[in-house]
Amino acid sequence: MAIAQARDLLAVSTRASREVDPGTALSTLLLCLFELRESDRTITDAMTRCSPPWSDVDLDRFDADVDLVIDRARVAGIVSDDFDRRDVLSLTIMVGAVADGLQTTDSDAPQRASTLLLRGVFG
């Protein structure tokens, strides 16, 4: 399963890094990661490679793509200078927590949380 999830992460980061507009690239990255997390609780483990089998999966390309998207957003003035990959992880975890906690009572909760978080990121 780790290989399939790594492929999913790489597909997201590659898609986002190929977007020409920095805002679109960051939105694409975040929304796609949020969607992955809604359906797969372990995707954040993959993003941090905190335990086996993730520690054995090479996700350097994912990290490089995410850093590129963030750097471009910084240069464009979309995010603050201290916004980094850790913030992407935190936002993904936040949406996941909403999905886990409210999905049975409010199926729109993850999408609403995603929208709210993006408003905060983009001001």
Judged by phi (left if over 0) then psi (alpha if -120 to 50, else beta), residue 21 lies in: beta
Burial 39-78 (b: 16+ CB within 10 A, else e): ebeebbbbbebeeeebeebebeebeebbebbbebbbeeeb
Full-model pTM: 0.84
Burial 102-114 (b: 16+ CB within 10 A, else e): eeeeeeebbbebb
Percent of the chain with pLDDT over 70: 85
What integer pLDDT is reported at residue 14 of this predicted model? 95
Task: Read off the pLDDT of residues 2-33 as tens digits, 9 standing for 90 and up.
Answer: 778 888 999 999 999 999 999 999 999 999 99
What integer pLDDT is reported at residue 15 of this predicted model? 97
Q: Mean pLDDT over residues 45-53, rounded? A: 71
Better-scored residue on pLDDT, 56 or 114: 114
What integer pLDDT is reported at residue 50 of this predicted model? 64
Better-scored residue on pLDDT, 120 or 102: 120
Task: Read off the pLDDT of residues 51-79 as tens digits, 9 standing for 90 and up.
Answer: 566 555 678 889 999 999 999 999 999 99
